[in-house]
Structure 1
Amino acid sequence: MSELFNKIKVQFENNLPFAVYCKPSSNRIIALLQHDKSYQKVSKTNTSGFIFTSFDGKSSCLIPKNNSNIIVEIVDDSTFFLQKNRRNEIDYEVKSKYESLIQKGIDAINNNEFEKVVLSRKEKVAIRKFDIETTFYNLIQNYETAFKYCFFHPEIGLWMGASPEQFLKVDNDVIKTVALAGTQLFSENEIVNWNKKETQEQQIVTDFIVKSLQKYVTNVSVSSPFTQRAGNLAHIKTDIEAKITNIFDLDKIIESLHPTPAVCGFPKEIAKKFIIENEGYDREFYTGFMGEWNKNFLTWEDLKFDLFVNLRCMKIELMSNGEMAEATLFIGGGITKDSIPENEYLETVNKSMTMKKVL
């Protein structure tokens, strides 16, 4: 066990909050180990630390810089673990229930209630012997270009994930974000082709973000859509960059963007209401956002925000014996009028492989 993860193990055993993460294509692991069990909310953008925010935006927890030990460790290749692929067995009862939910969403779109909605489900996986370090290094090994993290607070629980989607990156007065939508299995030997449903879904996300930013920014730059690989999956991605007119509007920008149509739908509030009323479970922090808040913990510069959407994630609960655990996986997809329920279910199966591969 590395020195860092030995400290994380002690932190976890003492029920003390922590966040450990590795940025996309980075060889540095950064950890914030909180000194006490206090729950700190983010009230102003002048506070610094690691933020963890729920889908509905009502819960937001900060591991604060000024109440934590900060540790940086270089990724050690020798600690990587090789994993075999897990078989994905179809649960036909789950399949039927999820496809019914998808059809309900399509019917609502055809009734002009909204243009797009993102509908999800959860899946429980038993883990014989869970270890934070092993699982975290599996994330690093398998998902180099994703944001890998592990977050724990006794009032929230233990969460881990490998997100392919940037929510917001702020460097002084320059803001960057992405529109990410559409999902296919990635194959090294095949050219990725996107159909009308997937390109329209992604365009909805792009248009929403640009419109939401308009009154707060200038010099907006939008790239052409391109294919982005994320582990065994491929997505359509558009890069968006702009200059903030007033840095004190950052709270308003975040409020206007979260949750984006990539994880909620459009129009946002109507789609969000449909999700809460029909998904049948609480998303908690799935499709929320997390990351560095007002500090780059490698350079120690202020006015740096590096936030990611909490996708490809799981909540882990340890059993009483301390070794057995149960992981709750959260998986979903964007629904438009052209969606086919069975295809949407199969997309969630493909996405679930991301997390199952590391367990």
Structure 2
Amino acid sequence: MNILFNKIEENYKRHIPFVAYRKPNTESVNGFFMKDDQLCFTTKFTETGFVFAPFNSEEKAVLFPSENADFISENILMEENFSLNEHFSDAINTDKEKHLHLVEKALDEINNNELIKVVVSRKEEVLLDEFDVLLTFNKLLKTYTNAFVYVWFHPKVGLWFGATPETLLNISGNTFKTMSLAGTQVFEGSDEVVWKNKELEEQQLVTDFIESQLKPISSNLKVNKKETVKAGNLLHLRSKIEGELNNGSNLKALIRGLHPTPAVCGLPRENAEEFINRNENYKRTFYSGFLGELNIANKSSSLFVNLRCMSVADKTASIYVGGGITKDSSAKKEWEETVAKTKTIKKVL
């Protein structure tokens, strides 16, 4: 077995924090393996290490500082054939009626107030007969080659897995890249699909917001054309965005400008956050937050939005899914979209 996989098993058994991850379309799996179980935070984003930040930008982000970690990077070819779960066990709670009601409430708010878009989410819990940390991570690595795939553990916080299609930010020096990702269709064998006005408008709202947030702190901003991208069993619309930070701006300003994006929160951002906090009836914690490398190798950071993820505790997997609601949304279709999104994680359970 690989050194990195051995370290995952060893740290998990000893209840010592670690993260192991693979960036999209690469073969190297990296890991930060902490030397003790100290819980560290960052609010300035000037440190070096691996950051795991919650949805609520007012809350502190967990930091695995590089000076207190062993860093391992290995090229791993995924040759094992795993059987994926296509017959999903019943969830303890899907709360279909609650979610339909939440979407209807969001539509009322959009039609009657200043809200243009809001992302509403739910947590679905699945009982696990047996659970293997390494096997689950391996299945994610094998299945989702074009996603940011990770397993993250801290005994004082919990165990998380994900295979997210969305980059929050890549920055090296003062040059950064981000993306606008929104709109969802189930992949049916081809990415040559027709996007309806609802998805096109939703994606444009996200693009416009990102552009307006970045203009005051950057220059040479370039927004590329929309393209269709595949993420697991789903298709999304994406526009790549790049630019340069102005003198006097920094990584924290960039993160605060982008997070939470309209792809996970809504527009106007403050109104959408208020609606989410008032109506979702559960705490997102790290779902729709962000995670990734912070100021490593030539001060470059690589951060991803925490989507298609789950937390695992007491033989229960909590799977988090959501969708963007605009004036053209249908509650029934929004429910079906969340069901399609749960399959990313359910396949590896």
**Shorter-chain TM band:** over 0.9
Residue 7, structure 1, aligned to residue 3, structure 2: no
Q: Which stretch has the larger CA shift, 55-64 or 35-44?
A: 35-44
Report how far residue 46 of structure 1 moved.
3.3
**Distance in 2 (alpha carbons) for counterparts of 1:79 and 1:285:** 30
**Distance in 1 (alpha carbons) for counterparts of 2:276 and 2:259:** 15
8 Å CA contact 2:180, 2:206 repeated in 1: yes
- Letter paired with 1:356: K
**Distance in 2 (alpha carbons) for counterparts of 1:247 and 1:302:** 19
For structure 2, list consecutive stretches of 5 or more residues without a partner in the other structure: none
Aligned to 2:145: 144
8 Å CA contact 2:49, 2:64 repeated in 1: yes
Aligned to 1:322: none
Aligned to 1:328: 318
8 Å CA contact 2:191, 2:230 repeated in 1: no
Q: Which stretch has the larger CA shift, 204-213 or 240-249?
A: 240-249
SS of the residue corresponding to residue 47 of structure 2 reads coil
**Distance in 2 (alpha carbons) for counterparts of 1:92 and 1:280:** 14
8 Å CA contact 2:191, 2:228 repeated in 1: no
Matches within 5 A, 1:22-101: 22-57=22-57, 58-87=59-88, 94-101=95-102
Aligned to 2:291: 290
Aligned to 1:303: 299
For structure 1, list consecutive stretches of 5 or more residues without a partner in the other structure: 296-300, 320-324
- Letter paired with 2:177: K
Aligned to 1:160: 161
**Distance in 2 (alpha carbons) for counterparts of 1:46 and 1:353:** 36
Question: Residues 41 and 87 of structure 1: is their aligned pair in 2 closer, same or farther, counting only changes over 3 Å?
Answer: closer
Report how far residue 82 of structure 1 moved.
2.8
**Distance in 2 (alpha carbons) for counterparts of 1:192 and 1:8:** 40
**Distance in 2 (alpha carbons) for counterparts of 1:45 and 1:90:** 38
8 Å CA contact 2:265, 2:273 repeated in 1: yes
8 Å CA contact 2:294, 2:301 repeated in 1: yes
- What is the RMSD computed on CA atoms of the aligned residues? 1.7
Report how far residue 45 of structure 1 moved.
3.6
1:292-335 deviations in Å (ceiling 9; x for gaps): 0001xxxxx22201000000000011x3xxxxx21000000000
Aligned to 1:21: 21
Aligned to 1:313: 309
- Letter paired with 2:199: E
Aligned to 1:264: 265
TM-score where L is the length of structure 1: 0.93
Could you list the structure 1 runs, at least 4 aligned residues long, displaced by more than 6 angstroms after superposition.
88-93
8 Å CA contact 1:173, 1:247 repeated in 2: no
Give the number of equivalent residue pairs.
348
TM-score where L is the length of structure 2: 0.96
